Each structure stands twice: as structure tokens, then as C-alpha cells.
């Protein structure tokens, strides 16, 4: 079942077409990557899917309901963790609940619960500045989950992390999404990351602002050194170019 | 070995000693330049009057600053919320700063008499602008991505203001508050020079007429100590509020 679907989306800025007639979707429990060179319009597409901007043409549907131009309906996580430095990790995670009018004490309890799930129990009363990059990103993801939306848009969530933390986070992230039965679309520049994480890949071509390629990823193993992984990687890199 | 870090104090001490010696040797006559010891003596002799005057000036300074604080918050929030308000008032505020406070002080006295009003108003005029600029630039400097995140989570303006904008603006607000605190007492004293019933400015004009320059210096010292004290309070407050920094 398609949970989030953007249909025939187009957007221009100052007369310049950024994306044109783009249609993407994500099914329940699925992780989809959006690959493309810089300036291909990935972030524009995300802003439209998240409702932060309205498209010139096209509609966005969340579980059958039209949410074009309506913010706050899907979880949105950006490149940097964007944790408020003056709030504790727990209070940061609880922000979406508080914004929805949940009582502060209840929101904190709920945040504590999810932080424990994300192995951040000890860090819950610390300030974000006291945490490592990976922990901060996990806390940001906890906050995104607490938006209550089970569809997540992630804009290069791991790009600021070092290679080791990053690879750990990718595995962890895939497990969390699958366990929770959530769905995610995420932007990345990194072909490896796209193949490791996702069930399907879209490639957004920079010249035309259209989806130029789409493929399911049906690998037995997501080990980067396996032959089938390398073969698929080559194929995808060809298409991105 | 730790580097010696008290050079500023050494310099001040040196100047004081030099000043004392110059006075004692009679190089400059004492009625023109009283020695530091004369000034301290005057401070002790006249402490009751100086103390009372200090309280009056401090009260005016605090009142003016308090009003400036309230106004600056209200104006900064309005300017942040409504672009038209910003476009209308911000340039006017900037231009108004080219008018020196000393120049408008006599007008304020002319319009509002010798009571407390012109003093408080002058303090307000001098304190308002640094506070406003601090807040407005603090709001403008807010992380745009965090604002987007808040928007994406469906937050309204007030929520974003209290959760994000105000906390992030605190650093530059405190920079403005520091400047205001150092202007406040001086503003009150300048207005008092032009007439009034009490305060350090009135005290200064009185002793000047009596050629009691030791007392004049005593008042100057109190004014500068008072300003330093206020700045210090701001620093302590800043440290507390910006503990996360």
C-alpha cells in the first residue's frame, strides 16, 4: 500500500524549472532513496512532500488524503541534527509532542521511552553539546518519530558523521524503520548508502528535473564487498551520471 | 610559570600614585586637581548626601532601563512578526541614534519639567536602541533550518518565538544590555545636570558651584563604580541564562 505519494509535481523558481512532472511514492514499511547530483532538485522535492512549499503543479497524498502544502503531516529530518542546544536531549525529543498540545510531563515520559529504545537513556538529561555525532543523530531521529508520523523524510541524515559511525547508523536505522513498520524516503549523494539502506532507488536527473531511473533492490546481502552489490553499484553510478 | 595578568591594575595603581605625588608636590594646585586621598576623604565626609543622590540616580536609571527593556521586547517582536513594521520603524530608529542624547536633554527638561520624567526618558532613549538592535539581530541570526523544522512540525509563531527565537537571541540581547547598563546611569546624571531635586547630577552641579572639586571627583567615582556594578550584574545574569553555551 502506498502511504505517501507525490503525483506530477513541478516547481520553478524565477522561471527556472527545478523539477518537472515528478511522481514518487513510498509503500508501508519501505525505504526509498532519492539519488541525484547537487542541484538536481532533491531538496525542493522534499520541501514539497513535507508541505513546507506548495508545488506549481501536482498533488501530495498521505494515505489517500491530499496534504499538498500542509506542513506537519510527515516527519522531516535534515542534514544536521538541529537539536536545540539549550534543551536537554529528552526535552528536544519531546518537542513534537509538546507542539501538539501534549502535557509536558507526559511528553517527557514518552520521550524517555523512545530514547531508551534508541539506547540514549543515560543521555536523556544531558545537553546536546555533550553528545557524540551519532548520538545526536539518534536523538534527532527519536524526535522525528515522536512527530507521530510513520512516514519520514530524511535529507542526508548521516552525511555529517564519520565513516564508522555512519555505517553503524545505517544498519541501525534500517532495523528501526523495519521494526516500527514505518516508511522512509531519504536523500543521499552516496550510492553505497542508498543501496545499503533502501528497498528501492529513484534517480533524479539534474538536467531535466525528472525521475530518470527507478530500481528495486533485491540483494541477498547488503555487504559492500559482495559481487552483486558492486554490480548494482556500477549500474546505479552509470545512471546518476 | 603562569603569566602575570594584572597589568591593568598595575597601570591604575601607577596613575593613582603619580596623581597623588603631583598633588602633594604642589605641581598642580589642589583646588584645581584634588589628590586621590582628598577625593576619598570627601567621599567619607559627604557619604550621606552622596548616598542619597546615588539612590535617586540609580532609581531613575533602573526605571528608564526597565521601560526600555519592555519596549524593546515588544518592538523587536512586532518587527520580527510583521515585516512592514520593521521596514517602517527600523530605519527611523537608526536615524534617531545620530542625535546625541546630550542635545535632547535640555528639550526633555523644557517639555517635562524638573521632576523625574525627563531623567527617566533620557535613560530610556539611550538604552532602548542597543537593546532593540541586540534583539532584532538575534532574531535575524536564528538558525533558519531550526525554524524550518519547527514549521515542518506545525509550530505557530508564538511557540517558535519562545522555544527558538528568544533563546537564540539571548546572546546578542545581552551584548545590547551590557551597553545599555553602562549608559543608564550616565544618562540619568546628564539629565540631572540640567536641573532637578536630587541625584548625582544635581549634587555635581551644586559642588561645582562651590568649587569643591574633591566632591566632584567623588561623584564621578561613584558614577563609574555604579556603571561597572550594573555591567557586572549583566555579566552574571548572562552567564546564568546562557549556561548551555
The domain spanning residue A210 has which CATH number?
A: 3.40.50.300
Please compute the mean of the pLDDT values over residues A131-139 and round it to a whole number.
Answer: 87
Q: Are residues A156 and A233 in the same domain?
A: yes
A200-222, pLDDT tens digit by residue?
A: 999 888 777 778 778 888 777 77
pLDDT tens for each residue of B48-102? 999 999 999 999 999 999 999 999 999 999 999 999 999 998 888 888 888 888 8
Same domain, A155 and A225: yes
**Contact criterion met (CB < 8 Å) for B151 and A78:** no
In angstroms, the separation between the Cα of residue B137 and the nearest Cα of chain A is: 19
- The average pLDDT across B31-49 equals 90
Facing A86 at nearest CB: one of B150, B155, B167: B167
Percent of chain B residues past pLDDT 70, beyond the cut: 100
Does residue A61 sit in the same domain as residue A175?
Answer: yes
Q: What is the mean pLDDT of chain A?
A: 86
**CB of B143 less than 8 A from some CB of A:** yes
As a whole number of angstroms, the distance between CA B241 and CA B233 comes to: 12
Whether B155 and A99 lie within 8 Å, measured CB to CB: yes
Q: Which of A106, A127, A148 is the last residue of a domain?
A: A148
- Same domain (yes/no): A208, A106: no
What domain range includes position A234? Answer: 2-74+149-240
Judge if A64 and A179 occupy the same domain. yes
Does A132 share its domain with A170?
Answer: no
Q: Are residues A33 and A53 in the same domain?
A: yes
Residues A161 and A138 in one domain: no
Average pLDDT over residues B151-180: 92
pLDDT of A22-67, one tens digit each? 899 999 889 999 988 777 788 888 889 988 889 999 999 998 889 8
Is B152 within 8 Å of A82 when comparing Cβ atoms? no
Which residues of chain A have a CB within 8 Å of the CB of B149? Answer: 76, 78, 82
Most confident of A207-211, B25-29, B225-229: B225-229
Residue range A8-20: average pLDDT? 87
Query: Residue A154: which residues within 8 A CB-CB, separation 6 or more?
Result: A77, A144, A184, A185, A186, A187
Check whether residue A105 and residue A154 sit in a common domain: no
Residue B84: Cβ within 10 Å count? 9
CB contact under 8 A, B153 and A85: no
H helix runs in B33-116, sequence order:
36-45, 47-81, 83-96, 101-112
pLDDT digits (tens, 9 = 90+) for A68-84: 888 878 888 877 888 99
Question: Most B CBs within 10 Å: which of A46, A62, A84, A98, as the mutation test of the B interface?
Answer: A84
Could you tell me the pTM of the whole model? 0.79
**Residue A80 to residue B145, Cβ atoms within 8 A:** yes
Evaluate if residue B1 carries a pLDDT over 70: no
Residue B56: the pLDDT is 95
* A33 membership: H or E segment, kind and range: strand A31-35
pLDDT at B187 over 80: yes
Rg (CA), chain B: 22
The separation between CA B24 and the C-alpha centre of its own chain, rounded to angstroms, equals 35
Interhelix angle B36-45/B213-241, rounded to 10 degrees, is 80
Residue B148 is predicted with a pLDDT of 85
Q: Do B148 and A52 touch (CB under 8 A)?
A: yes
Please state the domain count of chain A. Answer: 2
Q: Which of A148, A174, A194 is the last residue of a domain?
A: A148
Which domains are present in chain B? Answer: 46-241 (1.10.3720.10)
User: Quick one: A140 and A158 in the same domain?
Assistant: no
Same domain, A161 and A132: no
Q: Are residues A142 and A155 in the same domain?
A: no
Domain boundary, last residue among A132, A148, A164: A148
Chain B within 8 Å of A157 (Cβ-Cβ)?
Answer: no
pLDDT tens-digit readout, B118-154: 999 999 999 999 999 999 999 999 988 899 888 888 8
Tell whether A205 is within 8 A of chain B (Cβ).
no
Tell me what pLDDT residue B232 has.
95
Helix (H, G, I), strand (E, B) or coil at A57: strand
Say yes or no for a CB contact (<8 Å) between A72 and B159: no
- A228 pLDDT above the threshold of 90: no
pLDDT over 70 at A114, yes or no: yes
Amino acid at each position: 500500500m502506498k502511504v505517501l505519494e507525490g503525483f506530477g509535481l513541478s516547481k520553478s523558481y524565477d522561471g527556472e524549472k527545478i523539477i518537472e512532472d515528478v511522481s514518487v511514492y513510498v509503500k508501508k514499511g519501505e525505504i526509498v532513496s532519492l539519488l541525484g547530483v547537487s542541484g538536481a532538485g532533491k531538496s525542493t522535492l522534499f520541501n514539497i512532500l513535507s508541505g513546507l512549499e506548495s508545488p506549481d503543479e501536482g498533488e501530495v497524498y498521505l494515505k489517500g488524503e491530499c496534504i499538498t502544502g500542509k506542513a506537519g503531516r510527515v516527519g522531516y529530518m535534515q542534514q544536521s541534527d538541529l537539536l536545540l542546544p539549550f534543551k536537554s536531549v529528552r526535552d528536544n525529543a519531546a518537542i513534537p509532542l509538546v507542539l501538539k498540545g501534549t502535557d509536558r510531563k507526559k511528553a517527557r515520559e514518552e520521550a524517555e521511552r523512545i530514547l531508551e529504545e534508541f539506547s540514549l537513556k543515560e543521555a536523556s538529561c544531558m545537553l546536546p553539546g555533550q553528545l557524540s555525532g551519532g548520538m545526536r543523530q539518534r536523538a534527532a531521529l527519536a524526535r522525528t518519530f515522536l512527530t507521530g508520523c510513520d512516514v519520514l523524510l530524511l535529507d542526508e541524515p548521516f552525511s555529517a558523521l564519520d565513516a564508522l559511525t555512519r555505517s553503524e547508523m545505517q544498519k541501525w536505522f534500517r532495523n528501526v524503520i523495519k521494526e516500527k513498520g514505518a516508511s522512509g524516503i531519504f536523500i543521499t549523494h552516496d550510492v553505497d548508502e542508498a543501496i545499503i539502506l533502501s528497498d528501492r532507488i529513484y534517480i533524479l536527473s539534474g538536467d531535466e528535473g525528472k525521475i530518470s531511473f527507478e530500481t528495486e533492490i533485491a540483494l541477498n546481502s547488503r555487504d559492500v564487498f559482495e559481487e552483486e552489490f558492486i554490480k548494482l553499484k556500477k549500474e546505479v553510478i552509470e545512471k546518476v551520471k | 610559570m603562569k603569566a602575570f595578568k594584572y597589568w591593568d591594575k598595575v597601570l591604575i595603581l601607577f596613575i593613582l600614585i603619580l596623581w597623588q605625588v603631583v598633588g602633594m608636590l604642589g605641581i598642580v594646585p589642589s583646588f584645581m586637581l584634588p589628590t586621590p586621598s582628598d577625593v576619598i576623604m570627601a567621599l567619607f565626609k559627604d557619604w550621606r548626601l552622596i548616598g542619597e543622590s546615588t539612590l535617586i540616580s540609580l532609581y531613575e536609571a533602573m526605571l528608564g532601563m526597565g521601560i526600555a527593556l519592555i519596549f524593546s521586547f515588544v518592538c523587536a517582536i512586532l518587527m520580527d512578526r510583521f515585516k512592514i513594521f520593521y521596514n517602517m520603524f527600523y530605519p527611523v530608529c537608526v536615524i534617531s541614534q545620530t542625535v546625541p542624547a546630550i542635545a535632547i536633554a535640555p528639550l526633555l527638561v523644557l517639555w517635562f519639567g524638573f521632576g523625574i520624567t525627563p531623567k527617566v526618558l533620557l535613560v530610556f532613549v539611550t538604552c532602548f536602541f542597543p537593546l532593540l538592535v541586540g534583539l532584532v539581530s538575534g532574531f535575524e541570526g536564528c538558525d533558519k533550518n531550526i525554524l524550518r523544522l519547527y514549521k515542518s512540525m506545525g509550530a505557530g509563531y508564538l511557540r517558535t518565538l519562545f522555544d527558538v527565537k528568544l533563546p537564540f537571541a539571548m546572546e546578542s540581547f545581552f551584548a545590547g544590555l551590557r551597553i545599555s547598563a553602562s549608559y543608564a546611569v550616565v544618562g540619568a546624571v546628564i539629565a540631572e545636570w540640567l536641573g532637578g531635586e536630587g541625584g548625582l547630577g544635581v549634587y555635581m552641579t551644586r559642588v561645582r558651584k562651590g568649587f569643591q572639586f574633591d566632591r566632584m571627583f567623588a561623584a564621578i567615582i561613584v558614577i563609574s563604580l555604579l556603571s561597572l556594578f550594573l555591567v557586572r550584574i549583566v555579566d552574571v545574569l548572562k552567564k546564568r541564562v546562557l549556561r548551555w553555551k
